Chain A
Amino acid sequence: LAKTTQPISMDSYEGQEVNITCSHNNIATNDYITWYQQFPSQGPRFIIQGYKTKVTNEVASLFIPADRKSSTLSLPRVSLSDTAVYYCLVGDDYGGSQGNLIFGKGTKLSVKP
């Protein structure tokens, strides 16, 4: 599984756009990029997944450059309730590889009023 590197923490204010970048230099051809969110004392929650270019859903956008060695999770207009830890994961389950989720330490986002 490709190793990921992301900032340990980030601060933001309500209403701002937050971009969290994740590096995954050893990403494999079959790997997808997935982001999870975790609030204190709760299980992780899937946010978004992509393979290349841009993916957008009702919660966030995911930008993936052509070389796929990094990705950026974009949260538009954050609120206090977006304060959480955000995990970037890379893996696949094709070709016999199980690609089970391997969590890193994540990025702790603190949104201030």
Chain B
Amino acid sequence: EPEVTQTPSHQVTQMGQEVILRCVPISNHLYFYWYRQILGQKVEFLVSFYNNEISEKSEIFDDQFSVERPDGSNFTLKIRSTKLEDSAMYFCASSEAGPSYEQYFGPGTRLTVT
């Protein structure tokens, strides 16, 4: 069964540093998403991406965040200057058509900001 992959599985960075989290969505999917989950809390929507542009973003997705699809397979989330409160599990997801269609989630990247 096709799956979403994410790298790295765990990223440790110092406050103020830039990080890039990488995702490879399922190949025939058209919609891509990033979510985050702070330890012990609920999954929070960050951003959705379709047709090479952001479709929707949440209040969490401020100017420190950006997304990119640099080639035909990768989908990245960049945090320009990390803060302690960015420590969380970041999940990438993709769907064939639209957010209410089944979204396939990756295994996540655990980001630890020290």
Contacts and interface: CB of A to CB of B under 8 A. Distances in A.
Interface stretch (A13-21, A74-82, A91-99): A91-99
B91 interface: yes
Nearest to A47: B102
Nearest to A105: B42
A43 B42 contact: no
A98 B42 contact: no
A98 B89 contact: no
A91 B45 contact: no
Contacts, number: 60
Given A100-B56, A103-B42, A46 B102 contact: yes
B43 A46 contact: no
Interface in B48-100: 48, 55-56, 89, 91, 93, 98-100
B84 to A, nearest CB: 21
B48 A44 contact: no
A42 interface: yes
A30 to B, nearest CB: 9
Interface residues of A, number: 23
Interface of A: 32, 34, 38, 41-46, 49, 87, 91-93, 98-106
Interface residues of B, number: 24
B43 A103 contact: yes
A1 to B, nearest CB: 10
A33 B106 CA distance: 22
30 contacts: A38-B43, A42-B107, A42-B108, A43-B4, A43-B105, A43-B108, A44-B43, A44-B91, A44-B103, A45-B105, A46-B102, A49-B100, A91-B99, A91-B100, A92-B100, A93-B98, A93-B99, A93-B101, A98-B55, A99-B99, A100-B45, A100-B99, A101-B43, A101-B45, A101-B103, A103-B35, A103-B43, A103-B44, A103-B45, A104-B42
Contacts of A102: 45
A89 to B, nearest CB: 9
